[in-house]
């Protein structure tokens, strides 16, 4: 009887618990074979799932690129300023900016989004905190400072589909750490709340924003060789 009760509780919990954000990200990339991860840093969320695509990471902070390369998160790397991306239009099937645009002033963030939409053939995916979340430099990386905040309405005006991730905003501190203890309890509450905040993103700590571009007459990408994008910098 006790064993059956435990099984029932487990099944109810799994049905109630929201989907981890990296699984939502993975699902968004199922139809993409080559992606660009803008401002990839040292630990892009794509590390959480097995890839079925070729990925290129670009960042201006060289130590972060080296760390990411050591972890083998991406296939190729580019050391470059994301404010001046010079890739061919429509080359990458998906372009990602995961926890990036909040590190730019609003006008530069909007300019980056426009550039990403030009580079991408199929879709652009953005993850950013819900509203302004203060953050200073980390690990001597001045590019980690938050300079802007983005709301659900901001991204919807740009025609992005917006869902909430990482659970309720009120459960998290500035650095996405749990606000309350015991941690094990509030971790579970945050996970359960994810099912609600996914559909009501205004309540979420972070936003997952996807824009399908529906471009026509784009050339078919032929992936061959070690470096199909021809963008790898030898000094990274």
pLDDT digits (tens, 9 = 90+) for 34-44: 999 999 999 99
φ/ψ of 219, rounded to 5, equals -65, 145
Find the largest Cα–Cα distance for the chain: 64
Range with lowest mean pLDDT among 3-7, 94-98, 119-123? 3-7
67 has a pLDDT exceeding 70: yes
189 has a pLDDT exceeding 80: yes
H-helix segments, 53-94: 62-71
Length of the chain in terms of residues written: 236
Range with lowest mean pLDDT among 47-56, 111-120, 222-231? 222-231
Task: Please tell me whether the overall predicted TM-score, pTM, comes out greater than 0.75 for this model.
Answer: yes
Q: Please state the rounded mean pLDDT for residues 118-145.
A: 89
- Give the separation between CA 189 and CA 191, rounded to whole angstroms: 5
- Give the separation between CA 220 and CA 233, rounded to whole angstroms: 25
Q: Please state the rounded mean pLDDT for residues 107-124.
A: 97
For residue 69, the SS3 value is: helix
106 has a pLDDT exceeding 80: yes
Question: Which residues are 211's β-sheet partners?
Answer: 124
Looking at residue 3, its pLDDT comes to: 52
- Give the separation between CA 20 and CA 42, rounded to whole angstroms: 20
Nearest to 208 by CA among 161, 175, 171: 161
For residue 211, the SS3 value is: strand
pLDDT in tens, 138-154: 767 777 899 999 999 99
Token output for 14:
């799994």
Domains of the chain: 2-161 (3.40.50.150)
- Give the separation between CA 194 and CA 211, rounded to whole angstroms: 21
């Amino acid at each position: 009887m006790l064993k059956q009760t435990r099984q029932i509780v487990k099944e109810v919990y799994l049905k109630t618990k929201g989907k981890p954000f990296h699984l939502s990200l993975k699902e968004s990339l199922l139809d993409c074979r080559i992606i660009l991860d803008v401002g990839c840093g040292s630990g892009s969320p794509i590390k959480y799932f097995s890839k079925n695509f070729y990925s290129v990471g670009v960042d201006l902070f060289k130590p972060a690129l080296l760390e990411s390369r050591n972890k083998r998160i991406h296939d190729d790397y580019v050391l470059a300023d994301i404010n001046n991306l010079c890739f061919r239009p429509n080359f990458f099937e998906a372009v990602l900016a995961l926890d990036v645009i909040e590190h730019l002033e609003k006008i530069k963030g909007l300019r980056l989004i426009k550039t990403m939409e030009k580079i991408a053939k199929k879709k652009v995916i953005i993850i950013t905190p819900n509203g302004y979340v203060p953050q200073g430099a980390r690990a001597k990386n001045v590019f980690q400072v938050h300079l802007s905040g983005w709301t659900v309405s901001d991204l919807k005006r740009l025609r992005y589909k917006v869902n909430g991730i990482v659970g309720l905003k009120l459960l998290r501190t500035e650095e996405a750490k749990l606000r309350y203890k015991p941690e094990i309890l509030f971790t579970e509450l945050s996970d359960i709340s994810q099912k609600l905040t996914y559909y009501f993103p205004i309540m979420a700590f972070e936003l997952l924003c996807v824009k399908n571009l529906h471009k026509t007459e784009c050339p078919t990408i032929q992936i061959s060789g070690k470096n199909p994008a021809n963008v790898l910098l030898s000094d990274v």
